Amino acid sequence: MKRRSFLRSEAGHGLLMLSPTALYATIVMAAPLVAVFVFSFMTPGYLKVVWTFTLNNYAKVFSSPIYTALLGRSLMTSGVVTAVTVLTAFPIAYFISFYVSPARKSLWLFLITIPFWTSYLIRVFLWKVILGYNGVINSAFLGLGIIHEPMTFLLYNMNSVVITLAHSYAPFAILPIFVALEKIDRSLLEAGQDLGESRFMTFIRVTLPLAMSGVVASVLIVFIPTAGDYVTPTLVGGANGQMIANVIQLQYFKLGDYPMGSAVSITAMAVVTAMALVFVFLNRRFLRGPK
Amino acid sequence: MRGRGFQIYAICYLIFLYAPIALLPIFAFNNSTVISFPLSGFTTQWFSQLWTDTSLLLAVKHSLIVAVSVSILATCFGVFAARATTRYAFPMKQGLMGMIMLPLVLPDIIIAVSLLVVLMQMGASLSILTVILGHTLIATPFTIAILNSAFQSLDKSLEEAAIDLGETPASTFRLIILPLVMPGIISSLLIAFSISLDEYIIAAFLSGTEATLPVYIFAQFRFPNKVPVIMALGTILVCLSIALLTIAEYFRRRGIAKAGGKDTGGFL
């Protein structure tokens, strides 16, 4: 009878209601992630796994220059992308929250989210078309006589990867900052100015600290997925813009080496998670709720 | 005027956001296989070529089957989760919700490879069914985000009144709650549909020989003479997703207005 009363309690109802979704996420995501973790300690065999424990895969990840270099470049690239995206996003979020009239805020947010929902592949490909040797920028500048031969530094390097990813993740960066700014009690800002602070100092000492929770959220939501992005480095990265996802894809698809692919995936995830946690820890004083 | 600088910056930013999309129709109607300025003339041949490509039509069919299934499945999972979190307090709530929302930040390639190795190990064959599995997983957090705000603005006393008047919990849900959250459900269906229709990496790993539309498009990128056709296809897709999003946004706002809540902003 005890079990029945649990199912009728509020906690029981809630858990029961959540169970289909939680179960699905467990079976389709959590269990496979555990499997990848286990595989990463197994011996490689073509398109299958030999069930003997080994640390060789990880030894290879850390000793071979390809993996460490690609991992380093991935982290570098997504670090730069995150900085560019969040810094350019902040003024937009600030503008919408503080200068746009309340009735038009939804419209602005809608305008910003539309490009995000239109075909990701085609958007990335268009950057290739825009930045390419015979591309839109080069042909337009040549036509106008601004340059005399096409610029080659635009495409197939880290620049193009950064531009494309910053473009793709813009709404992800804007929305959390906007939400944090919206929550700020406007009378605090008036109080700051009444007490003799300039507008700029009020921003630095009142607005910015209160908006930091949104900034931290947008840093994480841009940094973590971009570190593992596959499409952008493949299409616009060229040989020098390849990232860790490319080598993961290579291990699984071309080489059929599941344990090695798993070891690279686990290492990449662990490093990215560790960096994210360090970042959160450094900003911990902004993340405590209001006292 | 205050904020003039911000306004100019915001407009430049919007231009940056829309520049690639704005180029699509220009080159989709341009009579040249080379994508560059100056333009050479008007044509609709790239659009008419689309209808003769059988592998494209097959990919569209696969994508539609996947996207419709995903939108229904993910919305069902979203309804359960949103109802549970907004209505009940229970142990491990934060942990479980954290796990369910994890696909929002987990790189898609990690989800794709982990599902792939498990499916291969089980000896399952890859098809659009396996794509549906993966897409439902990544679309669910988005549906939860939308449905949460729909369920959050529900007034609990409406339910209590219905129960007091002799309705069962099931009929209360059907007669009272469902009509009130219906706009949220429609908007969630549309968002899950657009996410699935657009997703490439999971589809590339899990579709086997049954390519979806993005997998087909990615394969075409290797052929330079196919570029204008892809531009034409892209133009159609962009118009389609803008239409879908506008409808979704309309229903989301109506839902919030219906439940008497305040609009707090976008989809995320």
Summary mean pLDDT of chain A: 84
B35 touches chain A (CB under 8 A): yes
The least confident of A65-79, A273-287, B243-257 is B243-257
| b/e code B131-160 from CB counts within 10 Å (16+ = b) | bbbbbbbbbbbbbbbbbbbbbbbbeeeebe
pLDDT digits (tens, 9 = 90+) for B188-246: 898 899 889 889 999 998 988 889 999 999 988 888 778 888 888 888 888 888 888 88
Query: Is B128 inside a domain boundary?
Result: yes
CB-closest option in B9, B20, B89 to A130: B20
Is residue B225 one of the residues assigned to a domain?
yes
Which is nearest to A173 in space by CA: A74, A91, A284? A91
Contact A171 B118 (CB under 8 A): no
pLDDT at A83 over 90: yes
Q: Which residues pair with A42 in a beta bridge?
A: A53
Its domain, for residue B243, covers 45-258
> What does the pLDDT read at residue A291?
40
CATH value at residue B64: 1.10.3720.10
Contacts of B85 by beta carbon, 8 Å cutoff, 6+ apart: A14, A18, B93, B97, B144, B148
Domains of chain A: 1-39 (no CATH), 56-287 (1.10.3720.10)
List the single residue in B with minimal CA-CA distance to A219. B105
CB proximity list for B31: less than 8 A, separation 6 or greater: B40, B41, B42, B43, B45
Cβ–Cβ gap B198/A119 under 8 Å: yes
- Backbone φ and ψ for B246, nearest 5 degrees, come out as -65, -40
Instruction: Give the model's pLDDT for residue A8.
Output: 67
Contact B194 A117 (CB under 8 A): yes
Residue B62 lies in a domain: yes
Task: Tell me the pLDDT tens digit for each residue of B44-86.
Answer: 778 888 888 888 899 999 999 999 999 999 999 999 999 898 8
Instruction: With CB atoms and an 8 Å threshold, state whether B100 touches A22.
Output: yes
Rounded to whole angstroms, the Cα distance separating A144 from A142 reads: 5
Q: What is the pLDDT of residue B268?
A: 42
Please name the residues in contact with B198: beta carbons below 8 A apart, sequence gap of 6 or more: A117, A118, A119, A120, A121, B214, B241
Contacts of B223 in chain A (CB under 8 A): none
Q: At B260, is the pLDDT very low, low, confident or very high (cuts 50, 70, 90)?
A: low
Handedness of CA A75, A78, A80, A86 (dihedral sign): negative
Would B26 be classed as within a structural domain?
A: no
In a domain, B208, yes or no: yes
Q: Is residue B24 part of a domain?
A: no
Q: Do the Cβ atoms of B105 and A225 come within 8 Å?
A: yes
For residue A245, what pLDDT band results from cuts at 50, 70 and 90? Answer: confident
Residues 6+ apart with CB under 8 A from A52: A42, A43
Selected residues 186-205 of chain A with any CB under 8 Å from a CB in chain B: none
Chain A touched by B84 (CB under 8 Å): yes
Q: Tell me the longest C-alpha to C-alpha distance in chain A.
A: 85
Distance from CA of A63 to the nearest CA of B (A): 22
Give the count of Cβ contacts less than 8 A between chain A and B: 269
Q: Are A108 and A181 in contact (CB under 8 A)?
A: no
A223: contact with B, CB 8 A cutoff: no
Report DSSP letters for A93-146, one per residue: HHHHHHTS-HHHHHHHHHHHHHHHHS-HHHHHHHHHHHHSTTSHHHHHHHHHTS
* Residue B165 DSSP one-character state: T
- List the single residue in B13, B89, B137 with the smallest CB-CB distance to A29: B137
CB contact under 8 Å between A139 and B37, yes or no, is yes
Put simply, whether B2 touches A (Cβ < 8 Å) is: yes
Tell me the H-state helices in chain B: 4-28, 45-50, 54-87, 93-101, 108-121, 128-152, 156-164, 169-172, 178-198, 201-206, 213-220, 227-258
Contacts of A258 in chain B (CB under 8 A): 117, 120
Q: Which residues of B192-224 are buried (b: 16+ CB within 10 A; e: fewer)?
A: bbbbbbbbbbbbbbbbeebbbbbbbbbebbeee
User: How many domains are there within chain B?
Assistant: 1
CB A18 within 8 A of CB A29: no
With bands split at pLDDT 50, 70 and 90, how would you rate the model's confidence at A21? very high
User: Which positions 110-149 of B are in contact with A (Cβ < 8 Å)?
Assistant: 110-111, 113-118, 120-121, 133-134, 136-137, 140, 144
Average pLDDT, chain B: 84
**Closest to A82 (Cα-Cα) out of A151, A176, A1, A153:** A176
- Residue B40 in any domain: the answer is no
Whether residue B264 lies inside any domain: the answer is no
CB B248 within 8 A of CB B191: yes
ipTM, 2 dp: 0.82
Question: Contact A18/B85, CB-based, under 8 Å?
Answer: yes
